[in-house]
Chains A and B, each alone.
Chain A
């Protein structure tokens, strides 16, 4: 400490320069007595050069924080504001960033990684508050690569020992559906395409739940499923005018990016709906296909639990469909009679409902790409004799070595010729 300084109160020599806003002070660190203080007021000429001291600078909190960390914390706050998150999220995300920064591996990381870390902290905060934010959104906002993001995300979750809940599907549906620009007529949206938000939301939710129940969601990216479900919900609410619209056009009109897998999710969902339609006699006779089933999605969703239970089964094929006990009422008083009749008086096979399909994820239903033969039982002990001839086959003969060297030299010459010094 500055030589010769004694506190008049307690006599200690531990005096600290501690400014109080714009006034410099010499304070005893033991008893807190102010030993000397600078001038509080300034002359007119001095004041012209002064600048306002912000709170964060005057409290000295940024003296311990490095510039790159400050930059990162600013980015975290900016990102939270851009996403219009509640203010409590901002504090949590900032705390996570500071916590991460305490680890040397993060402090020494590249700037790209630190930038991505900003997104990770915001994502973790949102997940913990069940705010549906996808990694794709954050990567788009940060102009970051998903691979880099995923590596940093997994690392930081492990490093901080955090418990991050899964993405909440229902909330994601609500947020994502609301982003479709279909709820008001505009020059780009024809009148027949406009739809009521609540109706579309509720039907999309039901379709997504159906997809979840029939193994179309597990292990897959959630967004394409929701896109396909939204499209089907929208189409089914006014099929007469909307059946002609394709998925790609729908996304373009709604001003939403079409994710690649959405088309195959759509086909899978339609296949499930067709199977369910097979269980309703009045739909079975209509011989529905992938386009016409859209008109009946409303009915199918209304009875989806029963239909899924009857259209699919868990185990291997057991009884014939007709031999099973008469099914319960599904959708109308005349229904039960018809089904019982079809079972008992042995209508031709075409009229009977199809035997239940297996309720399995699509990856299990597809035939395996290549037959996997069982590995041959090997009796290797590891200590066998290694014959010389076996090793010789891996060595070049002297002639081969000469040829190879010649070829290499020739290549070098060719290269030096093409790049003249």
Chain B
């Protein structure tokens, strides 16, 4: 549209195959691999003045102009994709020469990485932050559920607990709050409970246990079954303004930007399956994650895209 785009918006160079239906990081589901990919990109950026994103894409798909590292990456890709189904890491990766790596192997993984195990262990934030964007999203809210395993009488709970509110006409659950960690719980008569407001997975688990203990002390045989984190919300600030109109043009299939309805752009990333709210001030909200690593990975994916929309004088 004529008026909406200012002259001089840097549209991506045609070499960057964005919009192919995948996120710019068409990588397998291993976080360790994604972090290493980031580091590798940095290396290549020092070697050649190529676009960081381009190297990322080329590495995975074509291995064209790059050196043996690219081919080695491709080799690991194939081995990783084979192993992804098997779930075992038996091959020594030829690629990652020790001098190209600047960080120690991640805690909890074997030195023979990338071991393409499922990303269950939350990656410590230190590694992804320093190398690539330098920004770590902060977790703002964790929603978890747990089954107390017994039927509950909500009227009794509301009567005998100080921190409970119960309005059966409005909502069919008791709303209970505790001070430390500062959280809110919805306790249903079936014995299921939802815990919201914690800032980390461990805090959420501790809070859920405290609620279960309160219910226990009120005389119910409460257990602590099937604790599961359902949703994690994180936020961060890239500290530069973003042209949302441009972003929605280049990433149409992922973005939804309706300024008449909401001031932010809603970006639905496919891999990992995260929804990002991107605002003109550069603040980004990430939600929909089941594990912390998904939030970090999603932000590392979106950061190069957002940088592409930063005006350079």
Contact = CB atoms under 8 A, between A and B. Distances in A.
Contact of B201 (A168, A314, A382, A386): A382
B280 A219 contact: yes
Interface in A359-410: 360-361, 363-364, 375, 378, 380-384, 386, 390-396, 400-401, 404-405
B209 A391 contact: no
Interface string B1-26: 11110100000000000000000000
Interface residues of B, number: 53
Contacts of A150: 258, 261-262
A155 B209 CA distance: 37
A153 B163 CA distance: 40
Q: Which of B159, B243, B256, B281 has the most chain A CB atoms closer than 10 A to its own CB?
A: B281
Given A313-B313, A363-B280, A401-B160, A168 B1 contact: yes
B6 A212 contact: yes
Contacts of A361: 241, 280-281
B260 A135 contact: yes
Contacts of B151: none
A255 B313 CA distance: 43
B217 A391 contact: yes
B259 A222 contact: yes
A380 B241 contact: no
Contacts of B213: 386, 391
Contacts of B202: 378, 380-382
Contacts of A386: 206, 209-210, 213
B200 interface: yes
Nearest to A314: B313
Contacts of B162: 393-396, 400
B205 interface: yes
Contact of B259 (A163, A221, A378, A393): A221
B248 interface: yes
A134 interface: yes
Contacts of B42: none
Contacts of A179: none
Contact of B178 (A383, A394, A396, A401): A394
Contacts of B200: 378, 380
A21 interface: no
A401 B201 CA distance: 34
A236 B162 CA distance: 65
A405 B155 CA distance: 12
Contact of A167 (B199, B201, B209, B260): B260
B64 to A, nearest CB: 31
Interface residues of A, number: 56
B3 to A, nearest CB: 4
A220 interface: yes
B3 A208 contact: yes
Nearest to B280: A219
A213 B161 CA distance: 57
Interface string B36-75: 0000000000000000000000000000000000000000
Contacts of B2: 168-170
B162 to A, nearest CB: 5
Contacts of A130: 1
A228 interface: no
Provide the main secondary structure of the chain B interface. Answer: loop
Contacts of A213: 6
A289 B209 CA distance: 63
A205 interface: yes
B138 interface: yes
A218 B245 contact: yes
A382 B206 contact: yes
Contacts of A220: 259, 263
A277 interface: no
A157 interface: yes
B102 interface: no
A375 B4 contact: no
B291 to A, nearest CB: 15
Contacts of A136: 260
Contacts of B138: 375
29 contacts: A135-B260, A153-B258, A154-B261, A163-B252, A166-B4, A166-B248, A166-B257, A168-B1, A169-B2, A169-B3, A208-B3, A215-B241, A364-B281, A375-B199, A380-B181, A380-B200, A382-B202, A382-B206, A386-B213, A391-B213, A391-B217, A395-B160, A395-B162, A395-B217, A395-B218, A396-B159, A396-B161, A400-B162, A404-B159
Interface of A: 130, 134-136, 146, 150, 153-154, 157, 163, 165-171, 173, 205, 208-209, 212-213, 215, 217-222, 313-315, 360-361, 363-364, 375, 378, 380-384, 386, 390-396, 400-401, 404-405
> Lowest 3 A-B CB distances belong to which pairs?
A382-B205, A382-B202, A169-B3
Given A222-B259, A382-B206, 16 more contacts: A150-B258, A154-B258, A166-B245, A168-B2, A212-B4, A218-B241, A314-B311, A314-B313, A380-B206, A381-B202, A382-B205, A384-B206, A391-B217, A394-B162, A395-B217, A401-B160
